[in-house]
A and B are shown apart, each in its own frame.
Chain A
């Protein structure tokens, strides 16, 4: 029994990889081959699908737009969440518990509920179809998440650290930047990772708030699927390329990812 234990995770990973393999397989095929012959690997490998994405501005701008708002969102979310999480982990103040729960309720709000009001709000203030609009809109769920994760990591740091620093004559901000932030660097990395992740995978709000100038890659794909009569190969290539940024950032946080999902509370 014990020696066959590795079978469970192996089969599970195999199950996870199959659809990804199929996407990769499709991306190297021509439309004719996809519709004509069924094969487990491409018979006649073509890079046309990828070439089209890298040369057509409507395609590659989609990637640049997505990355732009994701990065802006991550920077805003983590930098405002840091002091707030510190306050929640160290201090008692009027309404702290209610405030914390209220923040979390925004992580629980279905984006579908906010789609139309967001469209009206960001149109009214003239930010419609800009990267900053999507970045700000994603703050709705990413800031609460970042506060929650950072608060978990900060609560794991003993308060004696703060007190010793004050005795040594550090001012609050010097302590915060020079001692405290390096101490919870892993937590900051994990919080940034999660903001990146949720902003990268979200589509409903990103699509509602953009039309041309800031259109995310995911929305570009939806359009292709519906208007161009299913160019499966192209769709598969575009999908494959959206997997790489995620794989790239996972690699950096791989040792902390499990703790991160537990919101720093293990």
Chain B
């Protein structure tokens, strides 16, 4: 850790960043707060409504359902992606020409525009023209993600695993590379099993980067919008309508600005709370 010196002029260095981010964050956020406590019928005429919208959103079945769906989705994503990512990182070559090949190929899905990811999986999973759809139907399983809720869910989850597991792989791999060879040699002399090496050398070294991985995966999967929107449109019915999709439906589709704003704030606070917990944990582990 660097010993930092007190310097009030440092504020000059951060002013441009603060100005730009504040312009983008504070003005829109205040707009949302404004809408969340008022009713408007257009023409810039507002009526005070207090916490009515918040009560309405918190008591609505629709919000409960999309919130639970979101939690289930994020939970499944973390449970699959983190172990899978660690497994791939552990088995990746540590040196040689294959390292670059692996890294570039694995990072590729991360750089594809999110709606292209959705469109690609749509084409890939189509029951008649898609490779995946054909394969599953060929095995004798009736599969159509545009009509069956379970199939839609599974396709969305597999798509996200395809899209983001590499992030966990890259982070875990970066952590593994920071382990000096001497550690492994010492373990070998002691006759440590593969599990013991993982448990006592590799996992502790990866702890910090894995916290970052879980934080990023939680954040991004909780905000997911474009990919499932393009893949399933939130359907069939409402079965893959996650929080962001629901929010955009209410705000831009139905133009119910009050409830949408109240929902936005609740949504943002949930993300913030979880991230704060992670951030605190991360900073603590960094100090050690």
The residues of A with any CB-CB pair to B shorter than 8 Å are 5-9, 12-13, 15-20, 22-23, 26, 34-35, 38, 40, 76, 80-81, 83-84, 86-94, 96, 99, 101, 103-118, 120-121, 136-137, 139-140, 143-144, 147, 155, 158-159, 197, 200-204, 217-218, 221-222, 225, 232, 235-236, 239, 242-243, 245-247, 249-251, 254-255, 257-259, 261-263, 265-266
Contact = CB atoms under 8 A, between A and B. Distances in A.
A176 to B, nearest CB: 10
B17 A6 contact: no
Contacts of A35: 129
B17 A143 contact: yes
A214 B230 CA distance: 21
Contacts of B170: 257-258, 261
Given A159-B2, A257-B103, A81 B17 contact: yes
Contacts of A242: 112-113, 116
B100 A254 contact: yes
A221 B119 contact: yes
B32 to A, nearest CB: 6
Contact of A80 (B20, B91, B109, B129): B20
Contacts of A232: 123, 129
Contact of B7 (A93, A113, A254): A93
Nearest to B218: A108
Contact of B2 (A13, A89, A247): A89
A6 B88 CA distance: 9
Nearest to B122: A225
Contact of B14 (A19, A26, A87, A222): A87
Given A9-B92, A34-B129, A140-B25, A204 B226 contact: yes
B271 A218 contact: no
